Structure 1
Amino acid sequence: MHDVDSTAVTDVVTDGPYAPWPVVDDPGTWSLERSTVTTGSGDVVVHHRVGPDPVLLVHGVAGSWTTWTPLLAETGGVGERGLVLVDLPGWGTSPAPVGAFDVERGAGILVEVLDALGLSAVDVVGHSMGAFVALHLAVAAPVRVRSLGLVSGTTTATVRAARHPWRALGTLPAFTLLRAGLLVTSGAARGLLRGIACVGLLPLVAAPVFTHVRRLDRSVLDAFVDEFRPERFTAAARAAASYDVERWRAVTCPVTAVLGRDDVFARVSDLDDLRRLLPDVRTAVLGDCGHFAHVEHPAVVAGLLGLDGRR
């Protein structure tokens, strides 16, 4: 490992409007077609559009394809480019996976989706857990990934927290406490979250995730409740605990990693770790931003990832 230059992290001022777009579930807005792809882990729902230089968008543990709609709204549907938005097994409208779901299986599913759509290579953007899966896709199938965009990626700090949860109380307390709470409440967790939403307390629960929760469009909070899958969260944590991040040294494509200064599920130190593993990675920290950078500041994220038409 080489020493990390802390000045390599670019601090980005986010002086534009906060979370300016709602989350919507109308694929017709961006001329997206809905398909079901049969994979080794079961059926997967995909929203896609034919076009040049296709972009594959991979959601996180509290998301689905709709998580990306604020970014699509900001970028005019990412111009004329092709789009692929996957609901991973057990999220969105995709049924629960057949067998265990882990990082390896997640990357394999993405390859099967690309094969079904006849796409040889794509630019991949992943949020949270989706960034983790996207990184492994670049390891397991490098010829399929032209570039990587990691948005609020849960990477090295999450791996350490998953392996040593109580030790991580001081470094990643939100992740550790959420995981512990879900293990205790088990299958009742989603019902509890819906109950909290019904009595108007959801902003208090979501406040650690978004920097300005009371400035969010109601659709963002509704999607947060609808898309959160407690059992999938705990499965993802188990998978992270056993993952060897040294494998990321094999990534050869260009990588850009963006996270919020206020992110409770990722740390700025994650970007230092990524630069140790990926010396050429571009990193940026967004001020006034939590764990959903593409929702909270979609224009800034689009610019950093080259999705604003200037690429």
Structure 2
Amino acid sequence: MLHVIDRIAVEEDGEGEAILCLHGLGGDSNTWTPLMPALAGYRVIRPDLPGSGRSASAGGALTIEKLAQAVHAICIRLDVSRAHVLGHSMGTIVAQHLAAAQPHLVRSLALFGPLIAPNDTARAGIRARGEKARHEGLRGMHEIALALVNAATSSDTRQRQPVAVAFVRESLMRQDPEGYARSCEALAAAQAAAVERITAPTMLVTGDEDGVAPPQAVRTMAERFVQAASLRSVVLNRCGHWTPIERAEDCARELRAFLAAQH
């Protein structure tokens, strides 16, 4: 079922406990399609976040806090009072803000390619990418997509998984340039959530070739989840930053085990 809530496109599938899926920069609800078989038996809610996918025109200037508020509003509209929250990349930051601000809502956190906030070098690069999208439009998005395929997927993915490469290209190339620019601005200005206050069981999954969320950075990140009811960190081999796309079966296996442990 497709909902349109405050100009935000939201897909809803299945019945059961709620799972809320938050994609990253350059993603949309389809980031999670490879993991849907692992989520059978749940009520899966996948928004295209404001500025992304079919929700590109929703709202004005964006911040991570505004994205978290939009997600909370979706939960209220869909009568979701408690949910397992999945995040990828920028979506992991939104998920952390949601868990810190609305602890009663977030039953667990499964974060793929996770980061607390970009470092200063990354912030500058993200801002430059947003400016390129805004000023160069479709041609700029094409160049951004090609650059990110090389920078954000593993060498094994590029050599052996042409469908995964095609997905990442298409996900980026299809973004509205202005919406993508606003999403870049939100991510470039992202501040850390109060992760030390998060009590939800948490799983952090990254790739050994993830340059955005490298394993050592994720290990350091894990040390800040001091109140999480449980914490699991996973590093997938021959995997870059597009974790659910590059290593769908591995992500699905880890996710099934993590969710089963919450019952």
TM range (shorter): 0.7 to 0.9
Mapped pair 1:213 → 2:163:
no
How do 1:254-273 residues align onto structure 2 when only pairs under 5 Å count? 254-273=201-220
Alpha-carbon distance between aligned partners in 1 of 2:258 and 2:103, rounded to the nearest angstrom: 25
Deviation at 1:297, TM superposition (A): 0.8
Which amino acid letter does the alignment assign opposite residue 216 of structure 1? Answer: P
Q: TM-score, normalised by structure 2?
A: 0.85
Contact in 1 for aligned 2:112/2:244 (Cα 8 Å): yes
Q: 1:128 to 1:93 in 2, by over 3 A?
A: same
Contact in 1 for aligned 2:22/2:91 (Cα 8 Å): yes
Aligned to 1:89: 50
Aligned to 1:120: 81
Q: 1:183 to 1:227 in 2, by over 3 A?
A: closer
Contact in 1 for aligned 2:126/2:185 (Cα 8 Å): no
Deviation at 1:185, TM superposition (A): 6.3
Alpha-carbon distance between aligned partners in 2 of 1:48 and 1:63, rounded to the nearest angstrom: 17
Aligned to 1:286: 236
Deviation at 1:57, TM superposition (A): 0.6
Alpha-carbon distance between aligned partners in 1 of 2:25 and 2:129, rounded to the nearest angstrom: 16
Alpha-carbon distance between aligned partners in 1 of 2:74 and 2:169, rounded to the nearest angstrom: 29
Q: 1:213 to 1:293 in 2, by over 3 A?
A: same
Q: Structure 1, unaligned stretches of length 5 or more?
A: 1-32, 166-171
Deviation at 1:227, TM superposition (A): 3.3
Aligned to 1:69: 33
Mapped pair 1:225 → 2:225:
no
Alpha-carbon distance between aligned partners in 1 of 2:15 and 2:2, rounded to the nearest angstrom: 15
Aligned to 1:234: 184
Secondary structure at the aligned position of 1:134 is classed as helix
How do 1:32-181 residues align onto structure 2 when only pairs under 5 Å count? 33-38=1-6, 43-72=7-36, 74-75=37-38, 78-156=39-117, 158=118, 160-161=119-120, 165=121, 176-177=124-125, 179-181=127-129
- Alpha carbon RMSD of aligned pairs, Å? 2.5
Which amino acid letter does the alignment assign opposite residue 93 of structure 1? Answer: R
Q: Count residues with an aligned counterpart.
A: 251
Larger Rg: 1
Q: Structure 2, unaligned stretches of length 5 or more?
A: none
Secondary structure at the aligned position of 1:51 is classed as coil
